[in-house]
Amino acid sequence: MFRSLLLLSGLIVSSYALVHAVDSASLVPVATYQKARAEGFTKAIIRGYQEACGIGGQVDPNFVPSYNNARSAGYTDIDTYWFPCNGSGNKCKSYATQLSELAQTFKAHSMNIGTIWIDFEKDAAICNNWNYGTSGNQQQARSLLEAMKNSGFNFGIYSSPGEWGTLFGSTGFILDNTAPLWFATYNNVETLTLGTPFGGWNTAVGHQYTDVSASKLFDLSVFAH
């Protein structure tokens, strides 16, 4: 879909293409993906790995079936996201092992994945992840990033200004601001404008603008074309 930026005078300043995307951690039926695609959501992002802190992390059981359903619905632009297992009270697999399990799943099911998005998000209610203190969390993030870079996969970072500040003590903490950023701000505004810069980013390639969809199975985002 195309969007135009307009001055109050009505003159077009610039126009740009946006890719509309759905993301989910649920098992999504083919029909739901078909409807989303018909409505112009041409990109799908599926949770590939969940923290599952009781067992050290695992490939999401919904990942492969949802991927297959998205493919059956005609999706070819498919990413995944990794919600890593960590936390001092959890016996998590190493970050390298978590990524290896994800990689093995790609291979075993001949999956064509564009980008792995690293989900930097606090889960205090269930797993109490990211509980190493400010400096400890920063070190964990560096270790996580190193494992991702060693995997050789295309990757980006998903977070929000609030989550980033909570995890790392400051929105100013820079982990890798050369990595593509997909940020969450639920303002129902379908633009890539990063209203509150964080992590050294001033621009983003993706914006998750709402967690409400008609099917109740998706969050909705826009991405740069």
pLDDT for 7: 30
Give the residue carrying structure tokens 């509309």: 20
Of 85, 45, 86, 42, give the one whose Cα is nearest residue 62: 45
The dihedral formed by the CA atoms of 171, 199, 48 and 185, expressed in degrees to the nearest 10: 60
pLDDT for 225: 86
pLDDT for 16: 60
Distance in angstroms (rounded) separating the CA atoms of residues 129 and 45 = 23
pLDDT < 70 positions in the chain: 1-16
pLDDT for 205: 98
pLDDT for 15: 41
Q: What is the DSSP string of 2-35?
A: EEEEE-TTS-EEEEEEEEEEEEESS---HHHHHH
Q: Where are the alpha helices (DSSP H) in the chain?
A: 30-38, 63-72, 95-108, 133-151, 161-168
pLDDT tens digit string along 112-122? 999 999 999 99
Burial of 60 (0-12, 13-18, 19+ CB in 10 A): buried
Burial of 131 (0-12, 13-18, 19+ CB in 10 A): middle
The pair of structure tokens assigned to 147 is 């494992």
Distance in angstroms (rounded) separating the CA atoms of residues 78 and 203 = 22
pLDDT tens digit string along 4-28? 333 323 333 234 689 999 999 999 9
pLDDT for 144: 98
Q: What is the distance between the terminal CA atoms of the chain, rounded to a whole angstrom?
A: 9
